């Protein structure tokens, strides 16, 4: 009789310790899920509050950069330029005028803008957060293709923010 009580007591003690150890794992997993859901909600909220428009796209044939303006028409300041996407499609100034598509990289300065890069040359009314494109501010953008462009062809730019909001525009190359 004493042995059966000792064995059942050991089983109960083991069960209680196992349940307590499992509880921390369950709580940790629940915390991770909750944190992930919170981050997803924050990202969705920022995406819903972000909006941009593109205007004044110009490209003159040759080797100069294309220029355009991005207006922040949303409620979120834009600042993480290294994670923005700028994709251009244009006709190269070569035999049979092939159509090229490039993804441009962000450059911190427009001085001596290298081929395959884009930069912000100016932000109009940049008073609240200097260097950031706040709501209602307009950024003048230079985009330097890797190859010269062909007059009469089409130049298209697709501009995307770090949270996935995009806008695009096309113009005839003059």
Q: Dump pLDDT digits (tens) for 155-166.
A: 999 999 999 999
Lookup: tokens for 9 = 């007591």
Band (124; pLDDT cuts 50, 70, 90): very high
Lookup: tokens for 71 = 């207006």
Count how many domains the chain has: 2
Tell me how far apart the alpha carbons of residues 148 and 168 are, in angstroms, rounded to a whole number: 21
Do 64 and 39 share a structural domain?
Answer: no
Do 60 and 42 share a structural domain?
Answer: no
Domain boundary among 16, 34, 49: 49
Q: What is the pLDDT of residue 66?
A: 96
Do 7 and 72 share a structural domain?
Answer: no
Q: Who's near 31: CB < 8 A, 6+ residues apart? A: none
Do 26 and 103 share a structural domain?
Answer: no
Q: Dump pLDDT digits (tens) for 5-51.
A: 778 777 878 778 777 776 777 667 777 888 888 888 888 888 889 99
> Is 68 in contact with 142 (CB distance < 8 Å)?
no
Do 117 and 98 share a structural domain?
Answer: yes
CATH code of 80's domain: 2.60.40
Q: Is residue 93's pLDDT more than 70?
A: no
> Is 71 in contact with 133 (CB distance < 8 Å)?
no
Q: Residue 113: give the domain boundaries.
A: 52-172
Could you report how far apart the first and last alpha carbons of the chain are, in Å?
Answer: 101
Domain boundary among 31, 49, 67: 49
Alpha helices in the chain (DSSP H): 2-49
Do 4 and 69 share a structural domain?
Answer: no
Do 56 and 43 share a structural domain?
Answer: no
> Is 155 in contact with 57 (CB distance < 8 Å)?
yes
The C-alpha angle with vertex 154 and arms to 152 and 89, in degrees rounded to 5, equals 140
Task: Provide the edge-to-edge strand list for the sheet that holds 66-72.
Answer: 52-58, 66-72, 138-144, 117-124, 99-106, 85-91, 154-160, 166-172
Do 150 and 88 share a structural domain?
Answer: yes
Do 38 and 56 share a structural domain?
Answer: no
Tell me how far apart the alpha carbons of residues 133 and 167 are, in angstroms, rounded to a whole number: 16
Lookup: tokens for 152 = 């009469």
Do 101 and 62 share a structural domain?
Answer: yes
> Is 166 in contact with 158 (CB distance < 8 Å)?
yes
pTM score of the predicted model? 0.78
Q: Is residue 147's pLDDT more than 70?
A: yes
CB atoms within 10 A of CB 58: 14
Mean pLDDT of the 73-88 span: 96
Do 62 and 35 share a structural domain?
Answer: no
Do 87 and 5 share a structural domain?
Answer: no
């Amino acid at each position: 009789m004493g042995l059966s009580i000792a064995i059942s007591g050991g089983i109960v003690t083991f069960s209680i310790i196992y349940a307590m150890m499992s509880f921390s794992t369950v709580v940790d997993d629940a915390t991770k899920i909750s944190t992930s859901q919170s981050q997803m909600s924050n990202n969705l909220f920022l995406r819903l509050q972000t909006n941009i428009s593109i205007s004044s796209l110009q490209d003159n044939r040759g080797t100069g950069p294309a220029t355009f303006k991005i207006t922040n028409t949303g409620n979120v300041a834009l600042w993480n330029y290294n994670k923005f996407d700028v994709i251009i499609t244009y006709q190269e100034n070569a035999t049979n005028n092939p159509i090229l598509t490039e993804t441009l990289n962000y450059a911190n300065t427009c001085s001596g803008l290298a081929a395959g890069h884009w930069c912000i040359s100016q932000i109009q009314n940049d008073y609240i957060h200097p260097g950031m494109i706040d709501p209602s501010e307009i950024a003048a953008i230079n985009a330097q293709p890797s190859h010269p462009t062909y007059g009469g062809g089409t130049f298209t730019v697709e501009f995307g923010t770090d949270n996935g909001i995009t806008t695009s525009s096309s113009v005839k190359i003059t």
